[in-house]
């Protein structure tokens, strides 16, 4: 059995390397199906689909300028070369420079065509997209821009959190959702809501509603918007975009939060994800931002316990996959070095593999963030350029290979309760593939 699995490993690895080294592009729709969900696993063509992915939020803006558009293709090519299969990026830019939505319901067609290009280019490199539809923060407009528009229209608004509760602002948001989902791609002629290239819709990047620590205001917004997206597009997966903080509904879980403030930002991980229309849970991980900007081993320990707690919750309470949709470490942190970064990445990947091998809810992770060469001016400290980070590149590629093995061996029904499991442990946890 072990010999047979070793042969299978070599076959999968060889296929993986050949397909990505040759950059074989997808030119037709054969085999390019929607990713779905069964229980706590993603599925694709009846097989499990575990995710190794990345964030690059600014793709639409760079694609809007012909001089920087090639960077989008370069990024997807490099991501594909190390087996990354899902990219999370913004499908919004509200009222800012290079705005997609210049004012409520008014769009810049050139910028929309840039997003069309991003979607079409992702498919060429067999990469699927999580498209986020709005931002909690001011970057790219965010909820503050919606409130500004509301004030300009004469609404009596007193807080950016009115975005979540005021009927007119909810209508603005839903109009944007409708526009994006029904967009017909000018490159592929495929409507977004029909396009398997889109892995999932994200309601908002890191929603918080600090004006209501009870969480009721944000919960109401999530309930309305998740159902709204699903009513318009029942085919695609939907996630909220949460950071994963535990809230008032689970006081016993507060011990896992990175600090006491996290319980007061109006989010509630378990309660929020029990909403009808939400398909999988999202969690972010920033020990260097939440605990201390000075690097310590406590960051790695927190990351591991944070992950294990949310994987456990996704299995016991939610019955859905959980994706760690942002994680990373900044070169600006005091005491930073690449060895620590690699240790953090290794911890994330090993924790996920421990879940994967038993058919658990740990469905994948998205590093923050991947950059091509020549885009350093946008680096927030977390960017990885593969050509400049060989150790990280090798680690990412190795994890992709391991995930590819799981995705190819067994149907979702197996849950890894078969004889392959013991032998797989021998293969998958050996440092030299």
Catalytic residues: 206, 326
Q: Where are the beta strands (DSSP E) in 98-247?
A: 101-103, 106-107, 128-132, 198-202, 237-239
Tally of CB atoms within 10 A around 5 = 18
Contact by Cβ (8 Å): 170, 203: no
CA–CA separation, 42 and 24 (whole Å): 24
Tokens found for residue 112: 């929309």
| Chain position carrying tokens 């150790």 | 391
CA–CA separation, 222 and 267 (whole Å): 11
| Chain position carrying tokens 């006081």 | 251
| Chain position carrying tokens 């526009």 | 179
- Measured between alpha carbons, how far is residue 69 from residues 90, 95, 118, 185, 278 in Å? 16, 21, 9, 17, 33
Determine the distance from the C-alpha atom of residue 184 to the mean position of all C-alpha atoms in its chain, rounded to a whole number.
23
CA–CA separation, 378 and 61 (whole Å): 12
Q: At what angle do helices 390-409 and 338-356 cross, to 10 degrees?
A: 10
For the chain, what's the residue count? 433
* Long-range Cβ contact pairs of 331-337 (< 8 A, separation 24 or more): 331/381, 331/382, 332/293, 332/381, 333/288, 333/293, 333/294, 333/295, 333/381, 334/293, 334/294, 334/295, 335/294, 335/295, 335/296, 336/295, 337/295
Tokens found for residue 25: 């592009």
* Long-range Cβ contact pairs of 386-395 (< 8 A, separation 24 or more): 386/78, 386/81, 386/82, 387/78, 389/338, 391/338, 391/342, 392/338, 392/341, 392/342, 392/345, 393/82, 395/342, 395/345, 395/346, 395/349
CA–CA separation, 86 and 307 (whole Å): 19
């Amino acid at each position: 059995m072990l010999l047979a699995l070793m042969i299978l490993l070599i076959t999968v690895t060889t296929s993986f390397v050949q397909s990505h080294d040759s950059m074989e592009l997808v030119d037709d729709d054969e085999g390019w199906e929607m990713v779905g969900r069964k229980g706590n696993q993603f599925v694709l063509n009846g097989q499990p689909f575990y995710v190794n992915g990345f964030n690059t939020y600014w793709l639409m803006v760079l694609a809007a300028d012909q001089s920087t558009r090639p960077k989008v293709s370069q990024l997807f090519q490099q991501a594909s070369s190390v087996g990354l299969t899902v990219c999370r990026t913004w499908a919004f830019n509200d009222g800012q420079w290079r705005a997609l939505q210049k004012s409520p319901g008014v769009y810049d067609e050139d910028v929309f065509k840039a997003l069309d290009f991003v979607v079409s280019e992702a498919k060429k490199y067999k990469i699927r997209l999580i498209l986020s539809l709005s931002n909690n923060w001011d970057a790219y407009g965010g909820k503050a821009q919606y409130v500004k528009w509301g004030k300009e229209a004469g609404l009596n608004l007193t807080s950016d959190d009115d975005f979540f509760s005021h009927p007119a602002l909810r209508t603005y948001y839903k109009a944007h959702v409708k526009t994006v989902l029904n967009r017909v791609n000018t490159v592929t002629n495929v409507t977004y809501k029909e396009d398997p290239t889109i892995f999932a819709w994200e309601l908002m990047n890191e929603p918080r509603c600090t004006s209501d620590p009870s969480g009721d205001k944000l919960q109401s917004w999530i309930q309305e918007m998740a159902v709204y997206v699903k009513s318009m597009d029942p085919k695609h997966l939907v996630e909220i975009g949460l950071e994963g903080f535990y809230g008032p509904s689970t006081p016993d879980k507060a011990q896992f939060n990175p600090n006491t403030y996290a319980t007061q930002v109006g989010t509630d991980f378990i309660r929020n994800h029990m909403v009808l229309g939400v398909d999988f849970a999202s969690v972010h991980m920033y020990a260097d931002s939440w605990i201390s900007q000075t690097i310590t081993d406590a960051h790695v320990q927190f990351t591991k316990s944070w992950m294990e707690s949310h994987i456990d919750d996704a299995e016991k309470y939610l019955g859905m996959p959980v994706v760690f949709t942002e994680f990373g470490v900044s070169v600006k942190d005091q005491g930073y070095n690449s060895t620590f970064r690699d240790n953090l990445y290794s911890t994330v990947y090993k924790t996920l593999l421990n879940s994967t091998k038993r058919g658990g809810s740990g469905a994948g992770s998205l590093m923050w963030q991947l950059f091509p060469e020549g885009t350093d001016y946008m680096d927030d400290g977390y960017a990885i350029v593969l050509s400049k980070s060989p150790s990280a590149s090798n680690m990412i590629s190795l994890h992709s290979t391991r995930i590819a093995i799981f995705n190819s061996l067994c149907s979702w029904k197996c849950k890894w309760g078969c004889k392959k499991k013991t032998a797989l442990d021998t293969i998958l946890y050996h440092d030299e593939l």
